Amino acid sequence: MTPFIVHKWGKYIPYCRDPPICIVLSQIPRMKIITLFVLVLAPLAVEAQGVFSNKTNTALQKVIEDYPNKFRNIIGDKISVNQQETDYRSKIEVSGAMASIITQHNDLYSWKSELFESSNFDHSRERFKEVFDNIKNTIVKIEGMSSVILNGKYEYPTEDKKNTTIAFQLLPANGGLQKLKVELSLRQASNGWKVVLCVHEKDVDGLAVN
- Residues 43-61: pLDDT tens digits? 444 333 333 346 788 899 8
Confidence at residue 48, expressed as pLDDT on a 0 to 100 scale: 35
Rounded Cα distance between 28 and 73, Å, is: 39
Domain boundary among 31, 49, 67: 49
Same domain, 44 and 74: no
Q: Which pLDDT value is given to residue 68?
A: 86
Q: Are 10 and 88 in a shared domain?
A: no
**Burial degree of 194 (CB within 10 A; 0-12, 13-18, 19+):** buried
In this prediction, the residues of the chain whose per-residue pLDDT falls under 70 are 1-54, 175, 203-210
Closest CA to 73 of 52, 55, 91: 91
SS3 7: coil
Looking at 30, 49, 68, which one is the last position of a domain?
49
Cβ of 86: how many Cβ atoms within 10 Å? 16
pTM, to two decimals: 0.70
Together in a domain, 103 and 146: yes
pLDDT value for 154: 96
pLDDT on residue 152:
93
* pLDDT for the residue numbered 4: 39
Q: Are 95 and 198 part of one and the same domain?
A: yes
- Domain identity same for 193 and 127: yes
Could you tell me if 31 and 67 lie in one domain? no
Question: What's the pLDDT at 14?
Answer: 43
19 & 111 share domain? no
Q: Write out the residue range of the structural domain in which residue 133 sits.
A: 55-208
Query: What is residue 124's DSSP assignment?
Result: H
- Count of structural domains within the chain: 2
**Is 164 found in the same domain as 115?**
yes
Whether 135 and 148 have beta carbons less than 8 Å apart is answered as no
Write out pLDDT tens, residues 133-158: 999 988 888 777 788 889 999 999 99
30 with 111, same domain: the answer is no
Same domain, residue pair 125 and 27: no
